[in-house]
Structure 1
């Protein structure tokens, strides 16, 4: 992208934007809401043509960007939607199965054309790695919180808005790409799926451009940053943390250069003013001419349009802020929380975390009195004033102008005071007359914070406050909560925010809350150690199972060997018995032949010989009977 500018009518959105993305690089884009971050992605995709400059994309490169409308046209099940980018290959797989069946049925009548088509299609399927599609789609679905097996029958029409968002992300991540464009991918993710996404992006073989307000994600994934500010974009090399350092240094250098030039200009103006009508008038005119041609440096971008929030409690309140006793919360037949008891004390910042759908928002609503409990009770003393920032921003009345919203909360304020307060949150001029219904998500979030500041509460409850805010506004909110002299209950998937603020962690899972008495960073470390211990235990268990299986196999092999050996010995014994029988039968036949000879009885010696042969014949027959008995035992 070189010298790119974008204008809409008289409005200049971007100017002189220049950067290039190399293969396998990971770029993070940050900037205030409305500064043009998503417009940059549209330029890269080719959905928008620049008003100036050029965008060059290698021919044939595959660029993937999530469908923001999430229409999922042509797909009915979750798995079919996630595998949408592979629809052609999956159809080819079915065709190959049908061709193989046809070839088998044809037998000797198979034609060369049939074989050529099958070989050609099979080569293409293998070349495009068709056999890995199912495993790839399953892995992405599982990573984003779906059951891959159930996804094959689960209808897209049954999904919630958040689930559709995760499905759209799954469809994008599973698709083959040379460049992956991601616009706030963590908005519908919980902590576990965010960590999975982080690892997945780190392992992608393609380049990535990532718009995100998740500072931890940016810090762990990107190696380049693009800061959209003051209608242009400045590239930086390094992680998000390195970008923050370089940005501060750059702004300091800009401020010094601006102040130095301003001082020099002031001196020149003073000289020209004093000497324009005197004897040094000619020099003064020359200096004025040179000064008029001097390129003027502007001040570094300031805080215009950013948020300046500050939370101040009107009263200190008591030391016990929330007392919960045997609390039970259910949604229909499903129990979200059961038998929960705790005490929240003044000054604590509690981070409530857990997978999506476990009931975190429902718990906050119940704690703040907006929902009845199934059992137990929550007691908040009269000295505690609660301010509640809702995830759906429902506290902002959509049918009123911004001015009227604040004026209704502060009847005694002058018009200037109302406008001044709104100005702290980035609303100035005629924008204060806008209806709240016309605001973007980020603007609604700032309006909700403007209202929350006026509560002067000593208990602040936040439900995903960073969802619609840009990075700079999140940093302002983080500072405001950090300086707040009260108690905070915070639901968020923003790890940087949680690490900076939380002093106690509630982990909600399977209807129970694990109460961890430490910071979020300590909880992460403890969780990692538990996970490592579980992996080690699982590995040891697997080794034991493998050893037992090997022993079982070995015993079976030994038994088989013994059986084979016994069979061999039995076979040899049978053969020996049969040989003995044959030998005895031959001897009997020989004796019978001798006894049948008439000459044997012609002499007295012959008669005696016949008597001896008769005895031998009887003995041989008894021996033969015994031999047959032994043979029968063997067979």
Structure 2
């Protein structure tokens, strides 16, 4: 065990934030802390790092354990470049490297015992240098930077020129390279695109230390964690398994607890009625029996009513009128800034009722494309048009459409002046703004609160085309589920930008992958997209492997002057190529079978959701299959190396 948290309590004034937080983490374990916005997750992290003190309880950290902490918006103030800042992690290695070069120079001028002593020092220092990965630190550094979305052309950019999100990524990179025994990561995927999130998943899955993660990225948590600590109503509950297992077990536990409570309440009422009846007989024997029953009733251990669930927003999206069948059309759109092309050859054809997700790496121009379609940014070329009776509702990830000088109430009433005060209050209550909350200044709101205000305005707009830029950013998991349900019931058209793979999987019917050379269309959700990408990669790899054999010039007719050894070498080469092709085919077949088995496990797990023991057994088998699939992919890559 590397960390134990026992009965942690924390209050601010009369507001109790944490009341009874208890859990532990084993070495190399990957654990998630989940809960609604405001549940106290970040407060707990600050207690664990010693930034603030708890009012009660204990935190035990294994002796000599190193801890690394990344806050949500971790900033770095430095005059160094990205590469120089990352290099600072390896200060000890760099010092040792300099000293090794110095010793090498000094040894050229020594002999005898002096040389022998210095050679011993050199051997000792070199061993320490090797133990600290002294020969691989540069490749590790570059690998982490590239994994987090920085190209080599950005390595020399000064930190002073970076955005807040980019600085947070640099800090995360430094933290990963420093390899602490315990990593605390608060929303690590917030500023990453899908490719970088997938890289971080692979990194953390094989990380030698323990990891404690706060995240609303459900797909990410499903891939990484094996334990979930939920903070709800100021208390903690521990669930074994990933995010999906936690949600299934939470629903089962709550149902069991609710039924047990209701059954006991019925039995208590029945006993009380029997006691009243016995007393009403007013006979000595019946009164004694009533008293006996009362004593038994007093000894009964009462089951607590399940805590009420935290308030969640309620969202209903209804278009005012139906649009024409053709909603949005664009041809050959392109955009450049300062002579540098962002994208070109972008073509869109979106029909009524479609839910379309636009994905792509950071910097490829997804938000720029949205602003071009909305007429906020001019296009360099191409044409675009909206269809008949199309009314757009736009969700801006930066929330720039909100007036920071207004209150929440005024933001709604000024936009929709025909609404009465009561109607506005009722509507805001559906978005968890009650009583005096409605008079909060927009400037004082958290990212999640601003997101709820923006969604409230979109709901009131009754638009029939929703254009949403990163709508799940800052929303907690429960609010995301509400938004998913609302979009799936919506009768209009939806186009959104997102890197939330779970959200995309639940809502998208079409995925448009944006690249500098245009858009690739996939007719399905995120799982379908990943399947098609993998299928394409396999075909390309197989084609590349076959190319030298198929494309080779016909072998010249052997002459009597060819040596036997040349002929044998040729035969050996052909045999090796056939053997390699057979191995590749075998591994690819195993990959397909394993993927099918994982899909079957998903179906079985869903069917067995009411039987937790069976579901857990299937989940463990699925985990083994996923590990096997990872090994098969590594083997496949090795065969193509």
TM range (shorter): 0.7 to 0.9
Q: d(CA) in 1 for partners of 2:396 and 2:221?
A: 26
Q: Partner of 1:246 in structure 2?
A: 249
206, 210, 227: which one pairs with 1:207?
210
Residues in 1 aligned to 2:253 and 2:204: alpha-carbon distance in whole angstroms: 29
SS, match of residue 256 in structure 1: helix
Output the CA distance in 1 between the equivalents of 2:347 and 2:78. Answer: 49
Alignment partner of 1:171 is 2:174? yes
Structure 1 gaps, min length 5: 548-554, 560-635
Please report how far the alpha carbon of residue 321 of structure 1 lies from its aligned counterpart in structure 2 after TM superposition: 0.6
CA contact (8 A) 2:356 2:494 kept: yes
- Against the structure 1 CA distance between its residues 68 and 325, is the aligned structure 2 distance closer, same or farther, given a 3 Å change threshold? closer
Q: How does 1:27-426 map to 2 (within 5 A)?
A: 27-66=31-70, 70-72=74-76, 76-106=80-110, 110=114, 117-147=121-151, 149-150=152-153, 152-264=155-267, 266=269, 297-426=303-432
- Is 2:11 aligned against 1:7? yes
19, 22, 31: which one aligns with 1:18: 22
CA change 1:281–1:392 in 2 (3 A) is farther
Contact map agreement 1:335 1:511 (CA 8 A) in 2 = no
Matches of 2:162 and 2:318, distance apart in 1: 41
Mapped to 2, the partners of 1:88 and 1:542 lie a distance apart of 47
Please give the TM-score of this superposition, normalised by the length of structure 2. 0.78
Preserved CA contact (<8 Å) 1:83 1:174: no
| Distance in 1 of aligned mates of 2:510 and 2:153 | 36
SS at match of 1:20: strand
SS in 1 for 2:24: coil
Q: Give the Cα–Cα distance (whole angstroms) in 2 for the partners of residues 271 and 518 of structure 1.
A: 61
532-541 or 341-350, which deviates more: 532-541
Could you list the per-position Cα deviations for residues 86-143 of structure 1 after superposition, in whole angstroms to 9, with x for gaps in the alignment? 2222222223222322333456694777556544433432333332322221211121
Give the distance between the partners of 2:210 and 2:552, measured in 1 at CA.
Answer: 41
d(CA) in 2 for partners of 1:320, 1:302 = 45
8 Å contact kept, 1:184–1:212: yes
Distance 1:500 1:67, change over 3 A: closer
Give yes or no for contact 1:72–1:81 (8 Å, CA) kept in 2: no
Contact 1:328 1:376 in 2 (8 A): yes
Larger radius of gyration: 1
> CA-atom RMSD, angstroms?
3.2
Q: Which moved more, 1:170-179 or 1:330-339?
A: 330-339
Partner residue of 2:484 out of 478, 481, 488: 478
Cα shift at 1:235: 0.7
Alignment of 1:509-588 (within 5 A): 509-538=515-544
1:446-468: CA deviation from partner (whole Å, max 9, x where unpaired): 11111111111110111111111
Classify the secondary structure of the residue corresponding to 1:55.
strand
Distance in 1, matches of 2:45 and 2:358, equals 34
For 1:309 and 1:278, how far apart are their aligned partners in 2? 56
CA distance change for structure 1 residues 422 and 538 in 2, over 3 Å: closer, same or farther? same
What is the CA-CA distance between 1:428 and the residue it aligns to? Answer: 1.2
In structure 2, do the counterparts of structure 1 residues 346 and 73 end up closer, same or farther at CA, with 3 Å as the change threshold?
Answer: closer
Deviations 1:313-348 (A, max 9, x none): 111111111121332333332333334333210011
Cα-to-partner distance string for 1:587-608 (whole Å, 9 max, x where unaligned): xxxxxxxxxxxxxxxxxxxxxx
Deviates more, 1:31-40 or 1:283-292: 283-292
SS in 2 for 1:19: strand
CA deviations 1:411-461 (Å, max 9, x no partner) are 333323212211111111211111010011111111111111111111011
Partner SS state of residue 370, structure 1: coil
CA contact (8 A) 1:396 1:448 kept: yes
Q: Are the counterparts in 1 of residues 41 and 214 from structure 2 also a CA contact under 8 Å?
A: yes
Per the alignment, do residues 433 and 31 of structure 1 end up closer, same or farther by CA in structure 2, a change over 3 Å counting? same
| Other-structure match for 2:448 | 442
Mapped partners of 2:19, 2:279: distance in 1: 39
Superposed displacement of residue 384, structure 1? 0.9
Shift in Å, 1:158: 2.3
Q: Helix, strand or coil: the match of 1:27?
A: strand
